[in-house]
Amino acid sequence: MKNKKILDIFGKRKIFFIVPIVIAFVALVVALIFGIEVDIEFKGGTLVTYSYTGDLDTGAVKSAAESYGYGTVGVSTGSAIVSTGGMTNSVTLSFSANEAFTEDAQNELSDKLEEQFASNQLTHQNTQDVNPTSGVKFFVKCLVAVLFSFLLLVIYIAFRFKKIGGLSAGIFALVALMHDIIIVFAVFIFFRLPVDANFMAVILTILGYSINNTIVTYDRIRENRTLYGKRMGLVELMNTSVTQTMTRSINTTITTAFAALAICVVAWICGVESIISFAFPLLIGLIAGFYSSVFLSGSMWVMWQLHKSKKQAAAK
């Protein structure tokens, strides 16, 4: 380490803190102005699925469906099982809960779309009414799982890192995780991705990767504290520890991020939007997890320790 330059993470902490604050503020403004896209499973509505052949212009299908006055229509493509037992291309239109979208209206819409896209042999396959209750229950269960994992993480870090103020380390690790959640949420807002089951899947995945990087950093801080004792100040201790673990954190993040990027590219080429809405936020979330573990958690821990030391000195 003698020949390796120690990064001054703590010295530039204000810059590192400002970046996520600005992103969160802009995301809040966008959400207030344009609203938040919510998947039909959370707000209820109707899913109408059609099979088709050839290359279907989903944009044209969306415009045609919305022209009939049933509100904003979501369009996703995939595969469907036809009556012959085989698989075919499918397009699913999602309509938010709308009293005017009766069974007669659905049949009329299908007739018009099948006629307009006859060259693609657009054929109605099935219609499904979605109750938002099940989606809300799923969302609540995921939130409970996240909160429970937060509690366990605080307890685990508090015991494992008692030598460096375990409880405060655990709390700031959670603050870093909240940063990751906010950034992922901002991705859904900025790119108008509907908040759905993929959102919770991304959150739960990111939490695992992010906390792992943070624990590795804390572990190195603890080792260096044992090795150098009070000969090394808190700021130097944190900067040295983060620098020593930086390469590992970068390699871990890049490896996983490239996998997510590859999935994004393949899904984009194949037009599978449901995969993109998972892989792309995951890609950004991995980067956010690296950022919070390296540039935020350690600096917040040092700030608290310095504050506590000053308070104790003043009390004496």
User: pLDDT of 130-141, one tens digit each?
Assistant: 877 777 787 888
Right CATH for 45-130 from 3.30.70, 3.90.320, 3.40.50, 1.25.10: 3.30.70
Domain map (residue ranges) of the chain = 10-35+133-315, 45-130
Any idea which architecture 10-35+133-315 has in CATH?
Up-down Bundle (1.20)
- pLDDT, tens digit, 9 for 90 and up, residues 80-107: 665 555 667 888 888 877 666 788 888 8
Residue found under tokens 């950034």: 183
Backbone angles phi, psi at 194, to 5 degrees: -70, 135
Give the residue with greater pLDDT, 113 vs 273.
Answer: 113
Q: What is the pLDDT of residue 246?
A: 92
Asked if 10 contacts 235 with a C-beta cutoff of 8 angstroms, the reply is: yes
- Out of 53-57, 73-77, 211-215, 261-265, least confident range: 73-77
Instruction: Answer yes or no: same fold for 10-35+133-315 and 45-130.
Output: no
Residue 131 exposed, middle or buried by CB count within 10 Å (0-12, 13-18, 19+): exposed
Q: What is the pLDDT of residue 1?
A: 47
List all residues 6 or more positions away from 85 whose beta carbon is below 8 Å from its beta carbon.
none
Alpha helices in 161-196 (DSSP H): 166-190
